[in-house]
Structure 1
């Protein structure tokens, strides 16, 4: 099991006893099909909804475990509308339309299970009336819209190599007068350049990078073996290709991984950090990689660049040389619908190529 999945499963098991029995049944039903990370998000969404029910006086329960099926059955449509408004306007942090849609979808899944799948002791549906069936969940992000938002915020063409080069050299010039920043640069530049190069030449997700172990690397065949999102077989790692351009950075980093980061032999992680004051290196965290990318991106003049946009950068570049099905497979998408964004992102590049061909 991946590091992230294991952590989320522990959190899931900690939260479940604080939920009503019918939620626990639903999670057990979904566990074979959905990752612990997704189910953990479901529980957080249900916590939010149940807390709102109590605050609005729509239940007599004083805690989540006391919420009843009857509380859900007698909800009116105006209550659902009220909850949607609460999510969009609450003072402690307004949710985006995408987040609101996801939270309502989580509720629809629970209500659907209780009214259409789960049975009581008399073989009747556990939930007799499903108000959430009336709620239409509109698709918020179409591929074309997502592509429009990404344009100008990813690396294109020569910028992919330039960004790796900047991490190796340019950033050091920019922070030379800051002793602490320059020391960190000298310590970590090969590792950081390796991480960025690997994402830009394979399209890995940050969680997949974090979970990589040294023995997941097949250098000769340019393969990495990763736990892919959505694959619930916790014994299977998917082979993912990386391009030739990443080999140099990988070779250099691997040559110094053990000595520079004081990596103990028992540590399997590919990417290591050595925290201040500690005598041994350990696996880098997801947050550390995200913050590292943001640090370099700001100095590079791409303040909107994030670790996930590096994945988009690779995918856009890869799609120009391959079809949508190969791109889908490389990225580990569940359907080509998700991959369509890169077709729209490359429209401009393709139109320029056509113009050049016509000019010739």
Structure 2
């Protein structure tokens, strides 16, 4: 099991203990087919649902573990409508349409399992009545809609190199009066530039970056061996190529990895950080990489830029020079439907390129 999956599995094992027995049974049923990260999202969605049921008096449970099957059976359509309204308008930190759709879909999955798959000792369904079967979920996450939201919020053309250059040099000028920030930058700028350049020149997911080991890197052939999302064979690492532009930053980081981060021999992780109060480097976490990108992006003047938008930035640029099938393979998508986002994103890019040609 890869490093990120191990971390998510531990969190899942802890979180599921706060759920009723039938949710634990459902998670066990889904575990062979879904990643621990996805199942963690299920658990969080059920926490939201059960907390709401208890707050509304639809469950007499004193905590989520005591929510009963009978209470789920007694739910009516108007209760689910109220819950959806709660998610969209009443809950602190309003949810997007996509998030609401996912939370309702999570509930549907659980209710379907309880009413159609799971059985009691007498071979009857655990849930006799499934109110969620009456709830229709409209498809929200369409490639064209996703593309529309991404336009103007990714790096384009020269900005890819500019952002890496800013991490190496520009950021220091902006925090010149902050000794702590300046010290941290001086320590980590080569590492941070290498991570950023690698994503912008290969399209890796943040979890794939976290899981990279030192021996997964073949700089000479510009290739990495990566655990791909959705691959059930946890022993297989797929070869993923990166562009020449990432080679210098990666080579520079590799030269100083040992001396700068004092990694013990047992530490196989490629990208390291030294935790506060410790002397030896440890594998960077997903959260640390996400926070690092946001830190630079905010100072760079693009506060909406995230690790995943760096991946989108690469994909858009890559798609302009390749077809949808090569882009799908490079990004590790399960189907071309997901990759269609970049076909829509590049419509405007191609249009702008034509206009520039005419003007020249």
Superposed pair shares fold, TM > 0.5: yes
In the alignment, the residues of structure 2 paired with residue 184 and residue 70 of structure 1 have an alpha-carbon distance, to the nearest angstrom, of 55
RMSD, aligned CA: 1.9
Paired residue secondary structure (2:128) = coil
Pair 1:177–1:12, CA change in 2 (3 A): closer
Whether 1:46 aligns to 2:46 is: yes
- Measured at CA, do residues 78 and 174 of structure 1 come closer, stay the same or move farther in structure 2, by a change above 3 Å? same
Q: How far did residue 356 of structure 1 move?
A: 6.1
Q: Map residues 232-271 of structure 1 onto 2, 5 A cutoff.
A: 232-271=232-271
How far off is 1:185 after superposition? 2.2
CA gap of 1:178–1:74, structure 2 versus 1, over 3 A, is: closer
Q: CA deviation at 1:21?
A: 2.4
Deviations 1:276-302 (A, max 9, x none): 442211111222212221222222222
Q: What per-residue deviation string (whole Å, max 9, x for no partner) do you get for residues 245-274 of structure 1?
A: 111111111000000112222211111112
Match of 1:317 in 2: 317
Quick check: 1:169 aligned with 2:169? yes
- Match for residue 296 of structure 1? 296
Q: How does 1:1-360 map to 2 (within 5 A)?
A: 1-355=1-355
| Structure 2 alignment gaps of length 5 or more | none
Report how far residue 189 of structure 1 moved.
1.4
Q: Deviations over 1:20-73 (max 9, x none)?
A: 222222111111100111111111211221222222222333333332222222
Shift of 1:119: 2.4
TM-score normalised by the chain length of structure 2 = 0.94
Q: What CA deviation, in whole Å up to 9, does each residue of 1:309-331 have, x standing for no partner? A: 11110000000011111111111
Residue 346 of structure 1 aligns to a residue in which SS? helix
CA distance in 1 between partners of 2:134 and 2:143 (Å): 26
- Aligned mates of 1:200, 1:261 — CA distance in 2: 24
State the Cα distance separating 1:337 from its structure 2 match.
1.5
Give the whole-Å Cα distance in 1 for the aligned partners of 2:116 and 2:73.
14
In terms of mean alpha carbon deviation, does 276-285 or 240-249 score higher?
276-285
Separation (CA, whole Å) in 1 of partners of 2:188 and 2:202: 21
Distance 1:154 1:353 in 2: 17
Aligned residues: 360
Gaps of 5+ in 1: none
Q: Distance in 2 between matches of 1:173 and 1:59?
A: 57
Asked if 1 retains the 8 angstrom alpha-carbon contact of 2:219 and 2:251, the reply is no
Offset, 1:354: 4.3
Kindly indicate whether the alpha-carbon contact (under 8 Å) linking 2:54 and 2:61 is maintained by their aligned counterparts in 1.
yes
Q: In 2, distance between residues paired with 1:170 and 1:194?
A: 16
State the alpha-carbon separation in 1 of the partners of residues 184 and 59 from structure 2: 54
